[in-house]
Structure 1
Amino acid sequence: MSNFQFKKGIKVEISIDEEGFRGVWFPGTVIKPPSKTDLKVMVEYDTLLAENGSTPLREKVDLVQIRPIPPRESKREYKLDDEVDVFFNDGWWEGVITHVLEGNQYSVYFRPTRDQNDFNGLDLRLHREWVHGKWLPPLEEEAVQPIEEMIHKEKEEKNFSKGSLVEVSSDEDGFEGAWFTATVLEVIGKDKFLIEYRDLKTEDDKEFVREEVDALHIRPHPPKAGKVDKFKQFEEVDALYNDGWWVGCISKVLGDSKYLVYFKSTDEELEFKDDELRLHHEWISGEWVMASKALDLSD
């Protein structure tokens, strides 16, 4: 983890855990940093207004809802299938380039809403994840990496062969952010796969569910990690619940190998045994990377 701290006055981006805004990041400023007695951060939004409609909105948010401002190139030409962030409706929305148009225009598809719209390149930035105190992909490597190598790597990431053990995500309401174990039965054309879930069964409970998924909703099965002696408070984990893996944060260590886990997406806190948890990792640029843990707080 880097030494980055969310100090008073620093510019940040904030996510809002509300229906229709999940995955969107809004620019803002830290008004009051977290402390050992108050883990929340007071922020002021740059683009969102309070109920009175005349002053910037201020509110306290959890650490998992805040991150530094991502790096951004001054000039960039985007390619088909590039994952990008688009600035509209007061925030940065994650999407995928589906068409490269003339005049620095791009068509962008948004998975959560299944909408597609055209945007100017000036309103785009390459999508990056804040992972383990670093931005991935990093700005420096990207500037020198040959285009051919990037395309090859992207194809390599999407090459899930028949019989591969994978995890699959869903855009359906109530299942956002969950990953379900499956097996690739067939590769269908470009970047589409027929999969069979390992734990989800049909309504008659006789067969496992089969469906077609695209490359945006599939990833390799995470490597089997050694047994963790003890999870720590504020550590990001995946919890096995309702046949899938859901990302959460250890909110309390209970003892007897039991933990309370908080889920930001549903604002729930549930109890799990250690064998129902695994350290949370992100599949980024063809590698499994351990997600950032909570910040080292200080007054």
Structure 2
Amino acid sequence: MSTHIDSTHFTDGTEVEISSNDNGFRGAWYAGTVIKPKNTNKNNKHLIIVEYKTLMADESGTKPLRETLDVVQLRPVPPREKRDREFKFSEEVDAYYSDGWWEGVVTGVLPGDRYSVFFRATREQLEFGQSELRVHREWVYGKWVPPLEQEEEPSNCMESKVGNNEKIQKGASVEVCSDEDGFQGAWFAATVIEELSFGKFKIEYKSLRNDDDTAFMTEEVDTAHIRPCPPNETVAHFRLYEEVDALHNDGWWVGVISKVLSKQRYEVFFRATDEEIVFKQSDLRRHLEWINGKWVSSESVCNSMNRKTK
């Protein structure tokens, strides 16, 4: 996530992390360097030439790959971790794998400072050493959330509307993400039918039907695929490059406002599918991340920043 992106962050020589839209690379962030910002193109996009540090353009691995990308695919380099940091079960992390950082969830704390990490995007569970993991952070309005110095304390950039997974019980309204092809990256409204053992839940979707269209679809999901429903909010308008969730094909998909058409209509860019779609105001909501049992709110980040500058 890179909410409210300012292209002035990325001058010549700036070290950055880059997200890719190519198949097999979506969901990862790669280290790179800004070679040259370009002028805004005819579609009002800010384009930047970058050079990757770990991805090569040739088979011999001697020529770093260069690409011209939209600024929405860039973010600054996250802060370094504290040494010997221990990670906890169900904590969201980034794991260094296949030359990039991939978002995952800790599903097992193993002997010898080793951890099992589950990746929603690929449905894989792999083992990593402590040095191969970092805290999952989001770049929100020019600040990292959570910031390095506050990662052990509750941050006023986070709004705790619902507690941890113990609050998710029978009858609760939740959102569920899917790993099936064509549905990855979307969240779907559901109701918890039953709380099962080993951190699993039986849920019934509110919008997805079974194959013969006779009833709503039911499924068993684990804690890595379920979260409370985000708080209901009224947003007067969305801003250019603001990250949003868009209601599309019965689910909420994360995207970025790429063009403000009017106060009630917006063009939204989706990294996962590399497409742009026009939405009404009523089909969009402010994007929130559920991290370590709390909602990460862009607005609360801004309020915190304002308080610090007064």
TM-score, shorter chain, exceeding 0.5: yes
Once residues 224 and 236 of structure 1 are traced to their aligned partners in structure 2, the CA distance between those partners, rounded to angstroms, is 16
Given the superposition, is the C-alpha separation of residues 287 and 117 from structure 1 closer, same or farther in structure 2, using an over 3 Å criterion?
closer
Seq. identity, %: 52
Alignment match, 1:218: 226
Once residues 176 and 223 of structure 1 are traced to their aligned partners in structure 2, the CA distance between those partners, rounded to angstroms, is 22
Once residues 110 and 260 of structure 2 are traced to their aligned partners in structure 1, the CA distance between those partners, rounded to angstroms, is 53
Match of 1:242 among 249, 259, 284: 249
CA RMSD of aligned residues (A): 2.7
Q: Give the unaligned 5+ runs of structure 2.
A: 155-159, 303-310
1:242-281 matches, within 5 Å, as 242-255=249-262, 257-281=264-288
8 Å contact from structure 1 (residues 136, 284) kept in 2: no
What TM-score comes out, normalization by structure 1 length?
0.84
1:17-166 matches, within 5 Å, as 17-33=21-37, 35-36=39-40, 39-51=46-58, 53=60, 54-71=62-79, 72-143=81-152, 156-159=163-166, 160-166=168-174
Amino acid aligned to 1:97: V
Say how many residue pairs are matched: 284
8 Å contact from structure 1 (residues 283, 289) kept in 2: no
Once residues 97 and 275 of structure 2 are traced to their aligned partners in structure 1, the CA distance between those partners, rounded to angstroms, is 30
Amino acid aligned to 1:64: V
Alignment match, 2:203: 195
1:113 positional shift: 2.5
Instruction: Give CA deviations for 1:128-154 in whole Å, capped at 9, x if unaligned.
Output: 222332222222122467xxxxxxx9x
Once residues 105 and 264 of structure 2 are traced to their aligned partners in structure 1, the CA distance between those partners, rounded to angstroms, is 41
Once residues 65 and 5 of structure 2 are traced to their aligned partners in structure 1, the CA distance between those partners, rounded to angstroms, is 29
1:35 positional shift: 4.9
Alignment match, 1:170: 178
1:179 positional shift: 1.1
Alignment match, 1:10: 14
Once residues 24 and 266 of structure 2 are traced to their aligned partners in structure 1, the CA distance between those partners, rounded to angstroms, is 30
Alignment match, 1:287: 295
Once residues 260 and 117 of structure 2 are traced to their aligned partners in structure 1, the CA distance between those partners, rounded to angstroms, is 43
Amino acid aligned to 2:182: G
Q: Give the unaligned 5+ runs of structure 1.
A: 146-152, 294-299
8 Å contact from structure 2 (residues 235, 286) kept in 1: no
Given the superposition, is the C-alpha separation of residues 194 and 62 from structure 1 closer, same or farther in structure 2, using an over 3 Å criterion?
same
SS at match of 1:248: strand
SS at match of 2:279: strand
Once residues 99 and 237 of structure 1 are traced to their aligned partners in structure 2, the CA distance between those partners, rounded to angstroms, is 32
SS at match of 2:183: coil
8 Å contact from structure 2 (residues 247, 284) kept in 1: yes
Amino acid aligned to 2:276: E
Once residues 296 and 132 of structure 2 are traced to their aligned partners in structure 1, the CA distance between those partners, rounded to angstroms, is 30
Once residues 208 and 172 of structure 1 are traced to their aligned partners in structure 2, the CA distance between those partners, rounded to angstroms, is 17
Once residues 123 and 238 of structure 2 are traced to their aligned partners in structure 1, the CA distance between those partners, rounded to angstroms, is 37
1:36 positional shift: 4.7
What TM-score comes out, normalization by structure 2 length?
0.81
Alignment match, 1:150: none
1:34 positional shift: 5.6
SS at match of 2:9: coil
1:287 positional shift: 2.0
8 Å contact from structure 1 (residues 222, 288) kept in 2: no
With 237-246 and 101-110 compared, the bigger mean Cα shift is at 101-110
Amino acid aligned to 1:29: T
Instruction: Give CA deviations for 1:221-249 in whole Å, capped at 9, x if unaligned.
Output: 12221252x43333322221111111222
Given the superposition, is the C-alpha separation of residues 81 and 280 from structure 1 closer, same or farther in structure 2, using an over 3 Å criterion?
closer
